[in-house]
Amino acid sequence: MSILADILGATVMFAVPLLLVALGGMFSERSGIINIALEGIMIIGSLASCLFLRAVNTESLGVAHPVLFMFLAILVAAVAGGVFSLLLAFASIHLKADQTIGGTALNMLAPALAIVITWAVQGQGLTTIYIPTWTRITQATFGGVASTDGFFARLVLKNFYLTTPIAVILLIATAFVLYKTRFGLRLRSCGEHPQAADSVGINVYKMRYTGVFISGILGGIGGLAYTVAAGSGFQSMVAGYGFLALAVMIFGNWKPLPILGASIFFAFFKIIGSYSSSIPFIPQFNSVKSKEYIYLMLPYVVTMVVLILTSKKSAAPKAEGIPYNKSQR
């Protein structure tokens, strides 16, 4: 049973960054901006928050108030991601540049910047920023004794970080904002038919800036969530999770709840790769070396198949990728 708890716990832990980042991508695309810069945004969010955690890793600050400082780190990640995403917003909204090219530039910029800054802070060749252990929430956080005995404790507390409950809250919040508020309706209209939105007095530029900014906030938090999940510290990369989140978003058809399902599905494949030998009912490929690549590849293959099958009734925002030009109304 404990292996089941491990698998489920780890799945949730890796689903969290995918969920957050895919929800971010959804906000940007629903406003009409294709955001392939998610990978770069994750890196910047993670970089900023890891540097923050490193700075507050002292007895009187982080160790004494772990939950508070982890929460602050999440805020730092959100702000950093949001600010970085404004670069994409500026190029694609004001300069009407090709959105995918702007995103590519940011994806190249982020890891390079992260390495250069990490070197500058930690010294030459020290490329990993380690995450303090107090960021993980255990019984010890609340004065108890840390232990992972028993099914429930192993399921929940082996890999529990503040990012997980925050992700749940953000999921509910995004679904509410997108479908139940005036702002959500306006944002969606800018992604479907910006000319019509403009004609009824909605400021398309402002909506798109907001959409990209929200995607930056969620992407930044997702970056931190990935780094704590990966467990080996921040190494100036997020291993393609930004791109995987893009696939999650498409697989989830640009809707919050299906995105939740898709992120769990994708995370499950990732985890199955590392646990495959201890799960009896899945194909073992015993004669194959480095078989984790099979499981790493599968989510992308599945996304391709889904993309082709659903292409006729895809819910992709109609106006995504097209710069809005007021004079062409």
Partner 1 sequence: MHKVRGFIAKRGTISLIGSLVSIIVGLLLGLLLLLYFNPTYALGGFVKILTTGFGSPEKFAKVLYQAAPLILTGLSVGLAFKTGLFNIGATGQYTVGAFVALVLGIQFQMPWYIGLIGAAAGGAVWGFFPGICKALFNVNEVITSIMFNWIGLFMTNLCFANMPKMLANYWGATNADRTANLTRANRSAVIPKMGLDGLFNSNYMNISIFIAVLMAVAVYIVMQKTTFGYELKACGYNRDASTYAGINAKKNIVLSMVIAGALAGLAGGIYYLSGTAQYTIVKSLLAMGFNGIPVALLATSNPVGIIFSGMFVSYIQVGGDSLQPEFAKEIIDIIIAAIIYLSAFALLIRGLISKWISKKEREEGEQ
Would you tell me which residues interact with partner 1 (CB under 8 A)? 34, 36, 87, 91, 95, 97-98, 100-102, 104-109, 111-113, 115-116, 119-120, 124-125, 237, 239-240, 243-244, 246-247, 250, 288-291, 293-294, 296-297, 300-301, 303-304, 307-308, 311-312, 316, 321
Task: Name which of 75 and 109 has its Cβ closer to partner 1.
Answer: 109
Task: Name which of 8 and 294 has its Cβ closer to partner 1.
Answer: 294
| Amino acid identity for residue 51 in this structure | L
Min dist. Cβ of residue 160 to partner 1 (A): 26
Task: Name which of 202 and 306 has its Cβ closer to partner 1.
Answer: 306
Min dist. Cβ of residue 244 to partner 1 (A): 8
Min dist. Cβ of residue 93 to partner 1 (A): 11
Rounded Cα–Cα distance for residues 189 and 107 (Å): 28
What angle (nearest 5°) sits at the alpha carbon of residue 270, between those of residues 268 and 274? 105
Rounded Cα–Cα distance for residues 324 and 329 (Å): 9
The contacts of residue 114 (CB under 8 Å, 6+ apart) are 43, 44, 47, 234, 236, 237
Task: Name which of 132 and 323 has its Cβ closer to partner 1.
Answer: 323
Min dist. Cβ of residue 63 to partner 1 (A): 31
Task: Name which of 62 and 323 has its Cβ closer to partner 1.
Answer: 323
Task: Name which of 214 and 248 has its Cβ closer to partner 1.
Answer: 248
Min dist. Cβ of residue 203 to partner 1 (A): 22
Min dist. Cβ of residue 151 to partner 1 (A): 32
Rounded Cα–Cα distance for residues 60 and 329 (Å): 59
